[in-house]
Structure 1
Amino acid sequence: MATAVFERYRTIIDDWEAFQAALARPQPATLRVNRLKADPGALRTRLEERGFRLEPYDWYPDLWRVVEEPFPPALTLEHWLGWFYLQEAAAAVPVLALDPRPGEVVLDLSAAPGGKSTQMAERMGGRGMVVANDPDPRRLAALAHNLQRLGITMAVVTRADGRQFPGGVAFDRVLVDAPCSAEGNARRSARAREGAGRHQRRRLPAVQEALLRRGLALARPGGVVVYSTCTFAPEENEAVVDRILREAEGAVRLEPLPPGLPGTAGVTAWEGRRFRPEVELCRRLYPHHLDSGGMFVARLRKEGPVPWEEPGGPGAVPPGGAGPGGGPDGVGWQAADAGLREQVVAWFRQEFGLDEAVLAGLYAYSSEGQGIWLASLPRIPGWEERWSVGLRLVRAHGATWKPTSFGLVQWGSAATRNVVDLEKEALRALLEGRQVTPPPGAPLERRGWVVLRYRGYAVGCGFWDGERLRSALPQERAGELRSILAR
């Protein structure tokens, strides 16, 4: 039985019978509204008209439990367009505990696949900067995909080992969602149902402590650091927090989570070891609490320099500071390219008749061989570890540019030139690799790239050769949209 491996937690779980029963049930889908793109009321109406029955959580009204589904919510056009993110209920709590505010500079130290980074950006109203970091290039692809799908223009993606994340920036808030034994995923993962082995329990805490130390070193004085895992093991949870509090005596304070968040208190003793009494302020979420997975969350306040911090602290160069500068680690700030922005705005106006106001408040950055990115950030840290910034608008294509699928989904719906409105069958044919004749009256002025539009929404890039139209969507995105049209 799956719960047998979790017998060691019987004495600390508040309702053992309910815990067992929850592990035996399939985990329901939950979705989080992306207010940067969607109105919650309108989205709910659209989904319910399709046969979905949704129940908002009272502690987070923009998080909805899917009570009934005619098909998986990932196979909706609304999901493909980035109107919502599928995120289990327990996983939404760490960002609510972090409570990022508009205009702040926030770090997600272990960000892939992007659920918490996108949640941060949405909670910040798209204002400020989210640095989303992950060391694994394979996971970075998923992270970048989700940030772009949800239209996040204020994120800087970095590839670094979180334990050695570069300094030079003082973060207002840091999320350390540490790699763990993932026992809280037991309802949806056969591997998690096997439980953590003894070797894992010995190895993981050292990694987790190192990440939490780095997160605290990078936070500004007075900043907030949230430590979270998706496991039940006190060795990876309260024991890690307890050790950090003892090492940083007087410099770090454990705080209660914001009012109204679910869960039970942290444990103060485990297998003969006693933790500091304030560890009770941590929060444990078990599968039966929210009909979800498991999660551990601790909120810490940095009150002064921590013992392992570099001399001078993490730096305090703001993104809007006057001119490139450097913190104690020598990081410079790269300013956006104003001339490049003028070029790309003029090109989009010429190609697609887009009003310049569509791209207002956005700044241009180039990446050699990668194209041009638009971000709501006038300047960004000059770290070598930077992977991307904002949302890629165009790729280099010979002597010209090719619009990206994500760029057109984000900004192309208002196109008035070189745009084609398609019915379902014609769009399906394009996605299957066939060529079609544009509908009569389509505003096609010359051969080249066109905006493909469906039901009023830009869905990607196509190419018109003067007679026939073909799709230029990436294969993965085309396959996803083809599956949606089959519903």
Structure 2
Amino acid sequence: MAEGSARGRAAVVNTPADIAASPLGRYRSLVDDWDAFVASLCRPLPGCVWANPTRIGVDALAGLLAEQGVAAAPVPGLPGALAVPASFRAGQQWWYCVGLAHAQEVVSQIPALLMDLAPGQRVLDLCAAPGGKTAQMAFALGNRGTLIANDLSFMRIKSLQGNLDRLGVVNVTTTCSDGANWPSASGQFDRILVDAPCSSEGTLRRNVSLLQRLDHANSERLGPRQRALLRKAVQRCRPGGRILYSTCTFAPEENELVVADILAEHPGELRLIEVSIPGFLTQPGITAWGDKTLSPELALCHRFWPHHNDTGGFFIAVLEKSPACLVEPQPTQAVGSEIGNAEWLAGLDAKYGFAEGYWGQYRVNRQTRRGLHLMAADHAPPAAPKAEGSGLFFHRTNVRPPKPTTAGALLVGRDATRFRLELTETQRDAYMRRETFEPTPEQASAMPRGQIIVSYLGYVLGVAIFHRSGVIESQFPRRWSGCAAGPQAPATARDLPADALG
């Protein structure tokens, strides 16, 4: 089998013979067209980006792509999503780095559509990092209310928070906890997503070297943890609520067999429900594997094979908890201090000219010594586990003068009526590269010196300093400045979108 590389990641590196000789060969009896399945796994995975509904429409995003000469097409069944070439590096684009869009594999976007989300629901994402599904669900809830994004890894939580900050999500509390031991003190949730850690066979088109590491033993090893996560979700789901279990693998040991065991543990309390997925061809869940015969109910699960929709592989089961189960109280925890924040908000109003009563749509509090966070006004984190963070860190008060964070500027900057400067394309590129650049004569005469919010085509880019010397200094975060303004450099791991699959 040919080795993959960063330079050739979009090229065919696995052959049909490689696939047939791998552990994937055991699925031959499950696939309707083996040759088409194998051929799809030997092709690079098309890209996909979705428009941030709080900042840009999908048609406007398509226009930005067209200006770059990038062919983008709507994805049937995914409102707001655009298919882009496999070789296109969304994570390097200015509009991606300022949160106008997010890169996420097509099938990974489907779970949020099937959760039947609506504002006012209390939602738990039990295995959330790196955060694409979390962000989708946050916006489906109207960016208000309470969504908990949990992950076992603190470093993955940090990556998740970075994605949420860039996109302007304010209705999420992040937690770092073992989802299989999620505390009962959290109360119950209307919707729970269990996007379980798995053997990731369905990501082979994106991770070509994975084929060398596939082993049937991985599925046997992961099964107990997947059952524990789904079992906990059943416990924490409110009566009449919905649980979605998903993986990006083909293995029945991680899919139907897991769901079958949990259904058997909760007779009369849990059932699979039928869901429609317009725009996608799927196959029913299997009802037999090896020497095991499963309930016909398992056919209500959905299998996404790569050759059917030119995607990765995926599995989805949607379950409903009986309305007759016991309802538990929903205890919440206080987050941060709200004492003394009015003075800081008055300073922002005085400088940037926000409308009277503007901050009433948020809860403003201090969670760290660095400054202030914004949360949705009705956000109520559970009593346990301990929150890593709630909402968005938006105003840094431990510096002089205090200044909005980039995430804060991206969120509220469009509503500023003063100290806001529109940049040219050349200035935009310099700003994204964290450079200092010259204003035009018109800009220099119209804009007072000091801290300013900068934008391009009306879209906020972040914060800059207009110095008395007459130059503008970019304050774009170093950790976000992987965006390459101008000709694209060779791809590296840093260039890849943070959430190309999840």
Q: Report the TM-score range of the alignment, normalised by the length of the smaller protein.
A: 0.7 to 0.9
**Distance (whole Å) between structure 2 residues aligned to residue 95 and residue 416 of structure 1:** 35
The alpha-carbon deviation at position 141 of structure 1 amounts to: 1.8
The alpha-carbon deviation at position 335 of structure 1 amounts to: 6.6
In structure 1, what is the equivalent of residue 347 of structure 2?
Answer: 347
In structure 2, what is the equivalent of residue 450 of structure 1?
Answer: 452
Matched, 1:96 2:113: yes
**Of 188-197 and 293-302, the range deviating more from structure 2:** 188-197
The alpha-carbon deviation at position 148 of structure 1 amounts to: 1.6
In structure 1, what is the equivalent of residue 492 of structure 2?
Answer: none
Amino acid at match of 2:227: E
Amino acid at match of 1:385: K
Equivalent residue for 1:245, pick from 245, 263, 269: 263
In structure 2, what is the equivalent of residue 316 of structure 1?
Answer: 329
In structure 2, what is the equivalent of residue 226 of structure 1?
Answer: 244
Equivalent residue for 1:471, pick from 456, 470, 474: 474
Q: Matches of residues 86-485 of structure 1 in structure 2 within 5 Å?
A: 86-167=103-184, 168-194=186-212, 196-260=214-278, 262-303=281-322, 315-317=328-330, 326=331, 332-334=332-334, 339-356=339-356, 358-381=358-381, 382-398=383-399, 401-429=402-430, 432=433, 434-438=435-439, 439-444=443-448, 447=450, 449-467=451-469, 468-480=471-483, 483-485=484-486
1:150-206 Cα shifts (integer Å, max 9, x gaps): 211111111111112233322100000000000000111134323532432221001
| Mapped contact 1:341–1:363 kept (Cα < 8 A) | no
Amino acid at match of 2:479: E
**Distance (whole Å) between structure 1 residues aligned to residue 271 and residue 235 of structure 2:** 14
**Distance (whole Å) between structure 1 residues aligned to residue 183 and residue 281 of structure 2:** 34
For the residue of structure 2 that corresponds to 1:112, the secondary structure is: coil
**Distance (whole Å) between structure 1 residues aligned to residue 63 and residue 357 of structure 2:** 30
For the residue of structure 2 that corresponds to 1:43, the secondary structure is: helix
Gaps of 5+ in 1: 307-311, 318-325, 327-331
Amino acid at match of 2:19: T
Amino acid at match of 2:476: L
Q: Flag the 1:358–1:291 CA change in 2: closer, same or farther, 3 A.
A: farther
The count of residues paired between Structure 1 and Structure 2 equals 463
Q: Flag the 1:60–1:428 CA change in 2: closer, same or farther, 3 A.
A: closer
For the residue of structure 2 that corresponds to 1:484, the secondary structure is: coil
Normalising by the residue count of structure 2, what TM-score does the alignment of the two structures yield?
0.85
**Distance (whole Å) between structure 1 residues aligned to residue 401 and residue 111 of structure 2:** 43
**Of 33-42 and 428-437, the range deviating more from structure 2:** 428-437
The alpha-carbon deviation at position 287 of structure 1 amounts to: 0.7
CA RMSD of aligned residues (A): 2.5
Normalising by the residue count of structure 1, what TM-score does the alignment of the two structures yield?
0.88
1:70-119 Cα shifts (integer Å, max 9, x gaps): x5333333322322221111111222222212221111111111111111
Q: Flag the 1:93–1:422 CA change in 2: closer, same or farther, 3 A.
A: closer
In structure 2, what is the equivalent of residue 64 of structure 1?
Answer: 82
**Distance (whole Å) between structure 2 residues aligned to residue 426 and residue 400 of structure 1:** 24
The alpha-carbon deviation at position 429 of structure 1 amounts to: 4.4
Gaps of 5+ in 2: 1-16, 489-502
Q: Flag the 1:375–1:433 CA change in 2: closer, same or farther, 3 A.
A: closer
**Of 13-22 and 340-349, the range deviating more from structure 2:** 340-349
**Distance (whole Å) between structure 1 residues aligned to residue 387 and residue 37 of structure 2:** 42
Matched, 1:85 2:98: no
For the residue of structure 1 that corresponds to 2:158, the secondary structure is: helix
**Distance (whole Å) between structure 2 residues aligned to residue 270 and residue 359 of structure 1:** 56
Amino acid at match of 1:345: L
1:2-36 Cα shifts (integer Å, max 9, x gaps): 41221100001122111011011111111222222
